[in-house]
């Protein structure tokens, strides 16, 4: 028997994985970034097969990883976590540096970065696992803590997007009882739920320029959840 709540006991960080070049770069937020070998230093990063960045990593043969800080802005998380690079240029307006391989490295909200040359690609079902050899690594800000997936879930109320290896269909999780008088509103971009039962302000009373605390989406793009 699989209790899907168990999956939340696994510890992850949150990272921006980038590839491409100066003309066309892209990146996405990944929690499955980890060292797999010590000498030489090899890392693995998992990427949904549909992700535009997967295409760029395969083409360029290189990728970068930026380690997000605990209080990363909703704008950065929203852009790289819940939008597709096929529809917008994610590098526009960002603080970007280019590595020895030419890949973009995002510096916004990042405490460290690493650059890799691709050594192997492993097919793991819904995802590709890119294995890379570390060629550059530097700390940007040693005073801040890295953003962890647990902190993102518990403190910032974020959910895994559909393309993440750790995405869980909400119907597989235990249902919590609800107060029938309070309403819930869901962000159409990232799935964050504004639950009036646990907030001090009704959704309608929030200012018009209020944005999703997780991904920065406008208040007008929230949808009321029908509770039966």
Kindly list the residues in this chain that would bind a copy of itself in the complex (CB under 8 A): 1-7, 9-13, 32-42, 44, 46, 67, 111-114, 120, 122, 124-127, 129, 131, 134-139, 142, 146, 148-150, 164-168
Judged by beta carbon, residue 57 or residue 114, the one nearer a copy of itself is 114
SS3 43: strand
Between 77 and 211, whose beta carbon lies closer to a copy of itself? 77
Q: Which two tokens stand for residue 112?
A: 């460290």
Q: Which is nearer to a copy of itself, 127 or 183 (CB)?
A: 127
Chain center to CA of 9:
18
For residue 192, the minimal CB distance to a copy of itself (Å) is 19
Select 98 or 203, whichever has its Cβ closest to a copy of itself: 98
List, in sequence order, every residue forming a beta bridge with 123; answer none if it has no partner.
128
Question: How far apart are CB 191 and a copy of itself at their closest, in Å?
Answer: 14
**Nearest distance from residue 138's CB to a copy of itself, in Å?**
5
Please report, to the nearest 10 degrees, the dihedral formed by the alpha carbons of residues 83, 88, 93, 94 taken in order: 50
Q: Are the C-beta atoms of residues 134 and 116 closer than 8 Å to each other? A: yes
């Amino acid at each position: 028997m699989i209790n899907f709540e168990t999956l939340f006991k696994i510890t992850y960080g949150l990272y921006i994985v980038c590839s491409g070049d100066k003309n066309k770069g892209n990146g996405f937020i990944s929690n499955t970034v980890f060292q797999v070998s010590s000498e030489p230093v090899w890392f693995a990063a998992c990427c949904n097969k549909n992700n535009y960045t997967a295409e760029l990593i395969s083409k360029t043969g290189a990728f970068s990883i930026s380690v997000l800080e605990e209080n990363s802005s909703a704008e950065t998380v929203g852009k790289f976590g819940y939008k597709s690079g096929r529809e917008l240029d994610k590098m526009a307006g960002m603080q970007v540096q280019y590595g020895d391989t030419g890949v973009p490295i995002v510096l916004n909200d990042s405490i460290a970065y690493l650059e890799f040359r691709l050594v192997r690609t492993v097919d793991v079902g819904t995802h590709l696992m890119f294995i890379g050899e570390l060629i550059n690594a530097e700390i940007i800000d040693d005073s801040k803590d890295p953003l962890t997936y647990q902190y993102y879930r518990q403190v910032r109320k974020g959910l895994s997007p559909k393309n993440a290896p750790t995405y869980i269909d909400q119907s597989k999780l235990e249902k919590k009882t609800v107060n029938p008088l309070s309403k819930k509103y869901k962000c159409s971009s990232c799935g964050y739920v504004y639950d009036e039962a646990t907030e001090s302000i009704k959704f309608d009373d929030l200012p018009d320029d209020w944005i999703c605390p997780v991904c920065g989406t406008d208040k007008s793009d929230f949808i009321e959840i029908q509770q039966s």
